[in-house]
Amino acid sequence: MTRVRCAIYTRKSSEEGLEQDFNSLDAQHEACAAYVASQASEGWQLLPVRYDDGGLSGGTLERPALKRLLADIGQGAIDIVVLYKIDRLTRSLLDFARLVEAFDAAGTSFVSVTQSFNTTTSMGRLTLNMLLSFAQFEREVTAERIRDKVAASKARGMWMGGAPPMGYRPKGRSLAIIEADAKIVATIYERYLALGNVRLVCEELAARAITTPRRRTAAGRAYGGRPFSHGHLYRILANPVYAGDIAHKGRVYPGNHRAIIERATWEAVQALLARNAKGRHRPHRAGNASVLAGRLVDEAGEPLVAAHTTKKGKRYRYYVSRRLQHGVRSADGNGMRIPAAEIEGLVAREIAQALADPLALADRAGLVVAPADLKALTAQCASEAAALHAGEPALVPELTARITTGERAVTIVLDTSALARRLGLPRTPAGPATLELIAHVRLTRTGRAVQLVEAGGAPAGAGEPDAALIRLVLRARRWWDELCKARLTPTELAAREGVTSSYLLRVVRLAFLSPKVLEAILEGTLCAGIDSTALTAPGAIEADWMRQERRLLVR
């Protein structure tokens, strides 16, 4: 008699009851073993190895016991697989087709002891496909019911499971606040409104050694304690859970849990995120808009018009006296040309500084602030200031009526009506129509070009490193390294680099700059007027570091 090797496969979807001495898997195995025993006359013999998958869904093939079963079938160790029901093997028609193909390739069939058919006959295959179709239909209907229940529960503000957001822990069908983590969330919102940039917030958190909270999964695996990533911060800032809401499928419902972030702060952050998102997708030329056009004048009241020039593919913007724009020279030659980035940055910073003290600004502008409006006003001012720091172009022309550039100061005239609309506050009947902000900067001239310089000698547009000067310093250090190692003479090196010996020697002197000067170059904080041309002029760099620093650094 031919020996037929039989293996029993059992599965249970949930873990409920598996801890019992005799559970569902044992019941299935006993029924299948009895069936194999009834076929002993046909040579059926039960293999001693058990293939049990407890607490695993039939909608996936990623099951340990099933994988062992398939591996043994592939090695030709099993002739018949015995099942209690076909859906114990799989509930997916596609997965079933794959399993049948694997069984056929190995010459293995399978039998269901409660459904009385096997895959060795065509009728058995037809019946099996029909049963699995109904099993898959039942699975899909069950999934739809679960989805509908989750949607209905979330619409009622319930928390329906999953990993809770940072700052919360599950509490039944709601969330409870973890105070220590909630403080970190509040700090993230506060710093984003102040800085207006996720990258800067990320850097500040890293500098303060603030990391993600340490947690443990239900299985006991530890995670967290790592620096915040940009993506993590964006998810925290955009998560409506922190404002006391529950989101589901693009809709937001009032939640049953306490909010960590106040509604006014939340809305200010969302507005700033939206503005920054638009800025990231702004067309290239949008950044070249001259936002002060029509508002910038000199002390004589003559308008400064927007102009630009392009050198080596880079666009340089200026505000130029109208007479110079039309090629007309005045008798005193006092026409000016101011770099656009400097004057625009100065105006934006002065307005942002005024917004940093909302009550003082409202008092000077004649705006009415009710006690109940104070929190919302503070959040709104912080949002507007962050937008100005981030370079939002629409705010400056909306809030300003006139900007006057003088030899010792720049006067910014704000439109109080526009300010009131922006902050959502009413004006007092006797309030002023305009409000002046004074920036104490002086104008330095090089020919017709004008640069704005703050007290101590720093350019008003400080903070942007000079990329050309940095490249020149790197070239100087490389050339000096080659000269020190006696690879080439200055004349030979100049010939190889395609420059004159005189130019090479002037550039090489940049290798002798003091560490403080080098640091200022990298940070963009050198004195006004100090660039690559100034530093390569004859006698520009002295050997004494202290003299270098007195001449080149802001005091």
pLDDT tens track for 44-102: 999 999 999 988 888 788 899 999 999 999 999 999 999 988 788 887 766 777 787 78
> What secondary structure does DSSP assign to 38-88, as a single string?
HTGGGTEEE-S--EEEES--TT-S--HHHHHHHHHHHTT--SEEEESSGGG
Q: How far is CA 104 from CA 36, 87, 96, 97, in A?
A: 21, 19, 12, 11
- Distance, in Å, from the CA atom of 466 to the CA atom of 469, rounded to the nearest integer, reads 5
The yes or no reply on domain 4-136 and CATH 3.50.50.60 is no
Question: Cβ distance 83 to 42 under 8 Å?
Answer: no
For the chain, give the longest Cα–Cα distance: 123
What integer pLDDT is reported at residue 518 of this predicted model? 85
Closest CA to 410 of 461, 359, 464, 465: 461
What integer pLDDT is reported at residue 413 of this predicted model? 92
Global pTM value: 0.43
What integer pLDDT is reported at residue 230 of this predicted model? 85
Is residue 330 pLDDT above 70, yes or no? no
Higher-pLDDT residue of 329 and 378 is 378
What integer pLDDT is reported at residue 72 of this predicted model? 93
Amino acid, res. 459: P
Amino acid, res. 64: P
Domain residues of the chain, as ranges? 4-136, 168-278, 296-454, 467-552
Helix (H, G, I), strand (E, B) or coil at 6: strand
What integer pLDDT is reported at residue 119 of this predicted model? 62
What integer pLDDT is reported at residue 13 of this predicted model? 84
168-278: what CATH class?
A: alpha beta
Mean pLDDT (whole number) for 279-307: 72
pLDDT tens track for 260-291: 999 989 998 998 888 877 545 444 444 456 88
Structure-token match 């993506």, residue found: 231
- Distance, in Å, from the CA atom of 196 to the CA atom of 272, rounded to the nearest integer, reads 7
What integer pLDDT is reported at residue 337 of this predicted model? 79
Is residue 298 pLDDT above 90, yes or no? no
Mean pLDDT (whole number) for 93-120: 77
Report the b/e string of 388-403 with b at 16+ CB within 10 A: bbbbbbebbbebbbbb
What integer pLDDT is reported at residue 393 of this predicted model? 62
What integer pLDDT is reported at residue 107 of this predicted model? 87
What share of the chain has pLDDT > 90, as a percent? 14
What share of the chain has pLDDT > 70, as a percent? 85
